[in-house]
């Protein structure tokens, strides 16, 4: 009975390899796309100050919606960071999954004396983890910088709001 369960788990886990590799590749392209978005946002922010608000997502939202408390602004900022934060967190997990799945066939090929089978599976395993970690590194860096930007925007807007209400 346990042999049947082990065999079933082995076969099912192999089914997940292709979808996991596709998601890792999508996350990699997403991270590359985010580099471009981040570069443009950074360029616009350097070109404009808080007074002109171009490239300042939280300030634009706050002024458009006439927000009066920082909690709403923080919620908005978190919602803007949600997708890239999720990508940062799941990329390494999927990299581990994509590393472990080919290890089973690699060990099986090793026990059969099939060195070519071992190397094929190890190439997949290590390539997947490299793509995953690069994707996570890129998105983590972008998220960290944007968190700082958005916190500064919230502080700036709330200070303006307090200055206007005390006049």
Query: Does the pLDDT value for residue 133 go beyond 90?
Result: yes
What average pLDDT does range 97-102 have in this prediction? Answer: 94
Nearest Cα residue to 99 out of 20, 6, 26: 20
Name residue, tokens 């472990």. Answer: 100
Give percent of the chain with pLDDT exceeding 90.
59
The answer as to whether 160 is a domain residue is yes
Q: Which range in 1-15, 47-61, 75-89, 100-114 is most confidently predicted, on average pLDDT?
A: 75-89
The answer as to whether 134 is a domain residue is yes
List the structure tokens of 127.
């390539």
List the structure tokens of 125.
């395993």
Give percent of the chain with pLDDT exceeding 70.
97
Distance in angstroms (rounded) separating the CA atoms of residues 91 and 33: 15
Measured from the Cβ of residue 71, the count of other Cβ atoms closer than 10 Å reads 9
The answer as to whether 149 is a domain residue is yes
What's CA 51's distance to the chain center, in Å?
31
The answer as to whether 119 is a domain residue is yes
What is the structure's pLDDT at 41? 92
Nearest Cα residue to 102 out of 121, 123, 130, 115: 121
List the structure tokens of 60.
């634009």
Distance spanning both ends of the chain, measured CA to CA:
78
What does pTM read for this prediction?
0.87
Domain extent at residue 94: 17-166
The answer as to whether 30 is a domain residue is yes
Query: Does the pLDDT value for residue 68 go beyond 90?
Result: no
The answer as to whether 8 is a domain residue is no
* Number of structural domains in the chain: 1
Tens of pLDDT, residue by residue over 140-151, are 999 999 999 999
Question: 138 and 35 in contact (C-beta within 8 Å)?
Answer: yes
């Amino acid at each position: 009975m346990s042999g049947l369960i082990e065999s079933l788990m082995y076969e099912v886990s192999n089914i997940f390899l292709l979808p996991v590799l596709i998601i890792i590749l999508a996350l990699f392209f997403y991270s590359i796309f985010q580099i471009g978005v981040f570069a443009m946002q950074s360029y616009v922010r350097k070109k404009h100050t808080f007074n002109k608000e171009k490239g300042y997502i939280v300030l634009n939202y706050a002024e458009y919606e006439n927000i009066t408390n920082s909690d709403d602004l923080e919620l908005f900022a978190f919602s803007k960071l949600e997708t890239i934060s999720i990508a940062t967190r799941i990329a390494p997990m999927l990299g581990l999954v994509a590393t472990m799945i080919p290890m089973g066939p690699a060990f099986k090929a090793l026990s059969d004396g099939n060195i070519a089978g071992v190397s094929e599976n190890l190439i997949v395993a290590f390539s997947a983890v490299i793509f995953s970690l690069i994707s996570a590194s890129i998105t983590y860096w972008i998220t960290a910088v944007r968190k700082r930007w958005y916190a500064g925007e919230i502080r700036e807007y709330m200070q303006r709001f307090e200055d206007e209400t005390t006049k």
